[in-house]
């Protein structure tokens, strides 16, 4: 792979880091960029990105959601690909922007064009970059949570598993109800905290039942929810974004919610 980075890049990729990665966990952004660069792409992080607008969109605030969607469309023009380390934000751009802007013909067209270039990270690595993970080692047992938007809006299920199979020393042990929501749901988790807590507790029980050392997922929202609950219940299971494992940085970066000590 390294040879390719020295020659002509395979194309330009704009990384849409997502607001959670930007604010809380830059290591996911760096891991994503590393994976894309290793695959031979020239990576850029457009400065004008803040959020995909999902909080407004899912709260019924169409006006602000539209304005943010237009901002994203503008700032991601011209790149060959837009890659997002999140099924949720990726789904917003690919499936919801065109619908959100359907009444404004030129914007709708631009939204569809952007959707055509936008990929969730693991899917891009498997289906566009044809990456085969090698030379990455992580000893232990992991389980994988399928985040809902990635799974059902974008059909992502096999891609992360295929990539994880290339990590040496890592065993993937599936949990029960891997396709059931962890209870995050964006603003849901703070609007209905008791219900959300029940859902994430069920998720944690399923994770625990696998006796895995790690839980991975492709969405930081779900991971914060799951890791936050694991920590609250003093469970030793460590949570990482899949990009951190695939890029080999999980060995040097502390797990989500873990301190330096």
Partner 1 sequence: MESRAHLFKPSAREALDNPDLQQALRRVQAGFVGKRKALVDQFPDFEGLRDRGRAIKDHTLAHLDVYLEQFEARVTEAGGQVHWAETQQEAQQIVVDICRQVSARMVTKGKTMAGEEVQLNEALDAAGVETVETDLGEYIIQLAKEPPSHIIAPAIHKTRQQITDLFNEHHHGTFNDTLREVPDLVNEARGILREKFLSADVGITGANCLVAETGSMFLVTNEGNGDLTHSLPRVHVAIAGIEKLVPTLDDASTVLRLLARSATGQEMTAYTTMVTGPRREADTDGPDAFHVVLIDNGRTRMLGGRFREMLRCIRCGACMNHCPVYAAIGGHAYGWVYPGPMGSVLTPMIVGLDKTRDLPNACTLNGRCQSVCPVRIPLPDLLRDLREAQYDENLTGKPTRYGLGIWAWFALRPRLYAALARVGVGLLGRLGRRRGRFRRLPLASAWTAGRDLPAPQGPTFQAAWRNRRREESR
Q: Which CB atom, from 56 or from 164, has the smaller least distance to partner 1? A: 56
In order, the DSSP letters of 100-138 are HTTTSHHHHHHHHHHHHHEEEHHHIIIIIS-----S-EE
**Contact partners, residue 230, CB within 8 Å, separation at least 6:** 204, 207, 215, 237, 239, 257
> Which residue number, 78 or 193, has a Cβ lying nearer to partner 1?
193
92 vs 166, which CB is nearer to partner 1? 92
Bridge-partner residues for 238, per DSSP? 214
The nearer residue to partner 1, 6 or 261, going by C-beta atoms, is 261
Q: How far is the CB of 171 from partner 1 (least distance, A)?
A: 25
Contact string (CB under 8 A) for partner 1, positions 164-203, x = contact: ---------------xxx-xxxxxxxxxxxxxxxxxxxx-
- Cβ atoms of residues 121 and 35 within 8 Å: yes
Q: Provide the 3-class DSSP secondary structure of residue 117.
A: helix
Q: Which of residues 2-41 bind partner 1 (CB under 8 A)?
A: 17, 21-30, 33
Tell me 256's DSSP state.
Answer: T
Site for partner 1 contains 155 (CB under 8 A): no
Count of residues engaged in binding partner 1, rule: CB under 8 A: 74
Q: By CB under 8 A, is residue 90 in contact with partner 1?
A: no
Taking residue 105's Cβ as centre, other Cβ atoms within 10 Å add up to 9
Closest by CA to 219, choosing from 37, 69, 28, is 28
Among positions 229-248, residues that touch partner 1 (CB under 8 A) are: 229, 231-232
Two tokens at 129? 């970059």
* Segment contacting partner 1 by CB under 8 A, of 64-72, 102-110, 122-130, 162-170: 64-72
List 3, 6, 7, 48, residue binding partner 1 (CB under 8 A): 48
Longest dimension (CA), the chain: 54
Give the residue from 146, 202, 210 showing the smallest Cα distance to 173. 210
Site for partner 1, residues 68 to 87, rule: CB under 8 A: 68, 71, 75
Is residue 103 close enough to count as binding partner 1 by CB under 8 A?
A: no
Quote the tokens at residue 20: 């959670």
Interface pick for partner 1 out of 86, 142, 143, 225 (rule CB under 8 A): 225
């Amino acid at each position: 792979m390294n040879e390719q980075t020295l020659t002509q890049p395979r194309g330009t990729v704009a990384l849409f880091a997502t607001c959670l990665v930007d604010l809380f966990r830059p290591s996911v952004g760096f891991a994503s960029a590393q994976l894309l660069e290793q695959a031979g792409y020239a990576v850029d992080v457009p400065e004008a990105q803040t959020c995909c607008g999902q909080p407004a969109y899912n709260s019924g605030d169409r006006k602000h959601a539209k304005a943010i969607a237009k901002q994203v469309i503008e700032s991601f023009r011209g790149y060959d690909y837009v890659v997002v380390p999140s099924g949720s934000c990726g789904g917003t751009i690919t499936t919801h922007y065109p619908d959100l802007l359907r009444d404004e013909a030129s914007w709708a067209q631009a939204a569809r064009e952007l959707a055509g270039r936008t990929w969730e990270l693991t899917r891009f690595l498997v289906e566009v970059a044809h990456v085969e993970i090698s030379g990455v080692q992580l000893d232990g047992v992991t389980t994988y949570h399928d985040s809902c938007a990635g799974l059902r809006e974008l059909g992502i299920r096999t891609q992360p598993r295929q990539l994880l199979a290339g990590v040496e020393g890592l065993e993937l042990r599936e949990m029960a109800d891997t396709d059931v929501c962890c209870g995050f749901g964006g603003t849901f988790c703070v609007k209905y905290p008791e219900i959300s807590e029940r859902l994430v507790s069920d998720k944690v029980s399923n994770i625990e039942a696998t006796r895995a050392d790690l839980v991975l997922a492709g969405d930081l929202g779900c991971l914060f929810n799951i890791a936050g609950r694991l920590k609250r219940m003093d469970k030793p299971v460590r949570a990482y974004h899949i990009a951190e494992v695939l890029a080999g940085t999980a060995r040097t970066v502390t797990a989500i919610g873990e301190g330096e000590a």
